[in-house]
Structure 1
Amino acid sequence: MSAEELDAVFKALADPTRRLLLDRLRERNGQTLRQVCEHLDMARQSVTQHLDVLVRANLVTVVRRGRERLHYLNPAPLAEIERRWISEFDQPRLRALHAIKTRAEEYAMTVPDYVYVTYIHASAEQVWQALTDAELTARYWGHHNVSDWQPGSDWEHRRADGSGAVDVVGKVLEAEPPTRLVITFEDSPDSSREPSVVTFLVEPHAEIVRLTVTHEKLPDHDMLKGISSGWPAVLANLKSLLETGDVLPQAPWEMSPAHA
């Protein structure tokens, strides 16, 4: 994170109204502007201005669904701050205290959607190929993602270690190359629970793209915790592959949690 990006994050967080908006999204992610404005003693234009500041700071990302614009928290900047100033100092004790608080609150909360945004120096076609080409996914993910990527088709997440084991299965719900891919994601296919849903949104701009990954319908907080560390690691490896021609020197998901 550059100094300018860091300044934008701290400036956005300094305002109590913007912190209130972040809390609203933390309680219920993926809200429209109308929903965000509910029960706020504030003009709609003022809310829009505060949301624009949060979007510019990359603390909030906007995902279009038809005519609606849904607002999601983006944890990436806060995770960077945590890694820079907290994890190196008193992380074990803070984690223990946070775990106690989180466990006490989990039973009263629904599981929120997970949204992650990253910017990649590549074309939309290159990002689409990286998401759907079995050999490329094996390089940065350690699994071959196998499918013909047509709506209604099955897909499999096969280990690239030669075992042929399949860790995740699902179906392709939507495929609009090179900008939108929606799949179900079943890590326990024998379970009676409804599968979660992953959406990859690729938005090109000049020589870069914004890749937004939304993971919805999560069954429990354990899965949310797992993907919250898994997706950033996988996408960092993808970004490295497309920008440098090679993946990171070590698999990022193998890092110790204390330093991840």
Structure 2
Amino acid sequence: MSEMDSVFKALADPTRRLLLDRLREHNGQTLSELCERLEMARQSATQHLDVLVRADLVTVVRRGRERLHYLNPVPIHEIEERWISVFDQPRLQVISAIKSKAEEYAMTSIPSYVYVTYIRASAEQVWHALTDADLTARYWGHANISDWQPGSSWEHRRVDGSDAVDVVGKVLKAEPPERLVITFEDTPDTEPPRDPSVVTFLVEPHQDIVRLTVTHENLPNVEMRNGISDGWPAVLANLKSLLETGDVLPQAPWEMSTTNT
């Protein structure tokens, strides 16, 4: 079977087209997240995803123990170029340019950031630490303020007396004490506007500890990824110290990124 045949076979099934639609709306989902949105058994979803992967319509990226699924638009562009645009030469030139840009973006796109830490605490304690303004002020230096209901806004407000807000966003999903998904806009006034990045907190309890996984997706540039690569470990180390010892680290850990070690 040719590569083009595999793509047509994959697109012929409505369930597989729906999976592609869901990834188009929110790229980089786990199998569990896709199953939740489609109310589909894991085995069925896995079989459909395998077909999409073989057709190169979906790419799988491992982040720790998670397998994240990303939409690959290139085969669909190739179908359009071969079967549609050939009848219209001006549009062929336009679509070829789009295809080139898509391939260029695929080569230079910014990967998601994933950080995993283990904390001696209950899932409820970790959830409280993530959503309580007073606690976030202690380990983050900012109060995270919201009612934490899906659709609500949230603010990352300084506690230095200025009340300045450095980050804003929306609560996309709140499933206490296990999953919190928020948008993260550190430059909301950027022109032209850009899609916000998305942060997911996944809290998985096991006996006396929890595994906290923080995934930061849809990053706009390398500079932001470099910044959060320093920031998230520092913030989460302070959170871990607070929950396990009752106090934050003796020095602000994010200050180490500006000092020689």
* TM-score interval, normalised by the smaller of the two chains: 0.5 to 0.7
Secondary structure of 1:171's counterpart equals strand
Q: 1:162 to 1:121 in 2, by over 3 A?
A: same
Q: Aligned partners of 1:259 and 1:131: how far apart in 2?
A: 30
1:147-177 CA deviation, whole Å, 9 max, x = no partner? 0000000000000111100000000000000
Partner of 2:242: 241
Q: Are 1:141 and 1:237, in contact at CA under 8 Å, matched by a contact in 2?
A: yes
Q: 1:62-211 to 2 correspondence within 5 Å?
A: 62-63=65-66, 69-70=67-68, 108-191=107-190, 192-211=193-212
RMSD between aligned residues: 3.0
Q: Would you say how many aligned residue pairs link Structure 1 and Structure 2?
A: 178
Q: Aligned partners of 1:210 and 1:240: how far apart in 2?
A: 15
Say which one has the larger Rg: 2
Q: Are 1:106 and 1:221, in contact at CA under 8 Å, matched by a contact in 2?
A: no
Q: Aligned partners of 2:30 and 2:154: how far apart in 1?
A: 30
How far the C-alpha of 1:38 sits from its partner, in A, is 5.8
Q: Are 1:186 and 1:196, in contact at CA under 8 Å, matched by a contact in 2?
A: yes
TM-score by length of 2: 0.61
Q: In the alignment, residue 151 of structure 2 is paired with which amino acid?
A: G
How far the C-alpha of 1:226 sits from its partner, in A, is 0.3
How far the C-alpha of 1:256 sits from its partner, in A, is 3.8
Which consecutive residues of structure 2, in runs of 5 or more, have no partner in the other structure? 1-27, 32-45, 56-61, 70-103
Q: Are 2:143 and 2:157, in contact at CA under 8 Å, matched by a contact in 1?
A: yes
1:57-99 CA deviation, whole Å, 9 max, x = no partner? xx95234xxxxx538xxxxxxxxxxxxxxxxxxxxxxxxxxxx
1:6-34 CA deviation, whole Å, 9 max, x = no partner? xxxxxxxxxxxxxxxxxxxxxxx878785
Q: Aligned partners of 1:180 and 1:259: how far apart in 2?
A: 36
Q: In the alignment, residue 108 of structure 2 is paired with which amino acid?
A: M
Q: Are 2:230 and 2:257, in contact at CA under 8 Å, matched by a contact in 1?
A: no
Q: Aligned partners of 2:238 and 2:167: how far apart in 1?
A: 19
Secondary structure of 1:255's counterpart equals helix
Q: In the alignment, residue 157 of structure 1 is paired with which amino acid?
A: H
Partner of 1:98: none
Q: 1:249 to 1:206 in 2, by over 3 A?
A: same
Q: Aligned partners of 1:178 and 1:30: how far apart in 2?
A: 20
Q: Aligned partners of 1:126 and 1:31: how far apart in 2?
A: 25
Q: Are 1:204 and 1:210, in contact at CA under 8 Å, matched by a contact in 2?
A: yes
Q: Aligned partners of 1:131 and 1:256: how far apart in 2?
A: 23
Partner of 1:217: 218
Which consecutive residues of structure 1, in runs of 5 or more, have no partner in the other structure? 1-28, 40-58, 64-68, 72-104
Partner of 2:64: 61
Q: Aligned partners of 2:240 and 2:105: how far apart in 1?
A: 33
Q: Aligned partners of 1:60 and 1:218: how far apart in 2?
A: 15
- Identity among equivalent positions (%) equals 72
1:169-209 CA deviation, whole Å, 9 max, x = no partner? 00000000000000000000112010000000000000000
Q: 1:254 to 1:106 in 2, by over 3 A?
A: farther
Q: Aligned partners of 2:203 and 2:260: how far apart in 1?
A: 29
Q: 1:27-66 to 2 correspondence within 5 Å?
A: 34=50, 61-63=64-66
Q: Are 1:199 and 1:213, in contact at CA under 8 Å, matched by a contact in 2?
A: yes
Q: Aligned partners of 2:142 and 2:183: how far apart in 1?
A: 17
Greater helix fraction, Structure 1 or Structure 2: 2
Q: Are 1:62 and 1:70, in contact at CA under 8 Å, matched by a contact in 2?
A: no
Q: 1:188 to 1:247 in 2, by over 3 A?
A: same
Q: Aligned partners of 1:106 and 1:257: how far apart in 2?
A: 32
